[in-house]
Amino acid sequence: MVEDQNFHKVKKKIYALILLLVFSSKSYSQNFKLEKLVKLDAPWGSSFVNDREIIVTEKSGKIKIVNILSKEIKEISHQLNFVVHGQGGLLDIIHKDNYIWISYTEDRGGYKTSTSIARAEFNKKKLNFKNIFQANPPIDSGYHFGSRLVIKDNFIFASVGERGQGMIAQDASKHPGSIIRVHLDGSTPKDNPKFEGMEDWLPEIYQIGIRNPQGMALSEFDGKVYMSNHGAKGGDWFGEVKKGENYGWKILGWGGTNYSGIPIGPKWKPGFTKAIQYWVPSIATSAITIYKGKEFNEWNSHALITSLKDKSLRKLIFDDLSNVKEEVIFKNKIGRIRDIQVHPTNGKIYFLSQDALWLMQRK
CATH number at residue 231: 2.120.10.30
Of 246, 251, 85, 233, the C-alpha closest to 166 is 251
**Are residue 251 and residue 196 in the same domain, yes or no?**
yes
Q: Please give the tally of structural domains in the chain.
A: 2
**Are residue 23 and residue 125 in the same domain, yes or no?**
no
**Are residue 8 and residue 104 in the same domain, yes or no?**
no
Q: For strand 73-78 and strand 126-127, is the pairing parallel, antiparallel, or unpaired?
A: parallel
In this prediction, residue 4 carries a pLDDT of: 54
Residues 194, 225: contact at Cβ < 8 Å? no
Domain ranges, residue 9:
1-30
Q: H or E segment at 157?
A: strand 155-160
**Are residue 21 and residue 162 in the same domain, yes or no?**
no
In this prediction, residue 29 carries a pLDDT of: 54
**Are residue 21 and residue 139 in the same domain, yes or no?**
no
**Are residue 188 and residue 232 in the same domain, yes or no?**
yes
**Are residue 131 and residue 21 in the same domain, yes or no?**
no
**Are residue 305 and residue 210 in the same domain, yes or no?**
yes
Of 54, 98, 53, 60, the C-alpha closest to 80 is 60
Residues 301, 224: contact at Cβ < 8 Å? no
**Are residue 56 and residue 121 in the same domain, yes or no?**
yes
In this prediction, residue 226 carries a pLDDT of: 98
- Return d(Cα 180, Cα 61) in angstroms, integer: 23
Cα distances (Å, whole numbers) of residue 123 to 65, 108, 126, 136, 218? 11, 26, 6, 30, 26
In this prediction, residue 175 carries a pLDDT of: 98
In this prediction, residue 196 carries a pLDDT of: 95
- Return d(Cα 264, Cα 256) in angstroms, integer: 7
Handedness of CA 309, 315, 319, 322 (dihedral sign): negative
**Are residue 13 and residue 45 in the same domain, yes or no?**
no
**Are residue 60 and residue 125 in the same domain, yes or no?**
yes
Per-10-residue mean pLDDT of the chain, 363 residues long, equals 51 48 46 97 98 98 98 98 97 98 97 98 98 98 97 98 98 98 98 96 98 97 97 96 98 95 94 97 97 98 97 97 97 98 98 98 96
**Partners of 100 in the beta sheet?**
95, 120
In this prediction, residue 41 carries a pLDDT of: 97
Which value, in Å, is the radius of gyration of the alpha carbons in the chain?
22
**Are residue 81 and residue 16 in the same domain, yes or no?**
no
- Return d(Cα 146, Cα 241) in angstroms, integer: 15
Residues 306, 286: contact at Cβ < 8 Å? yes
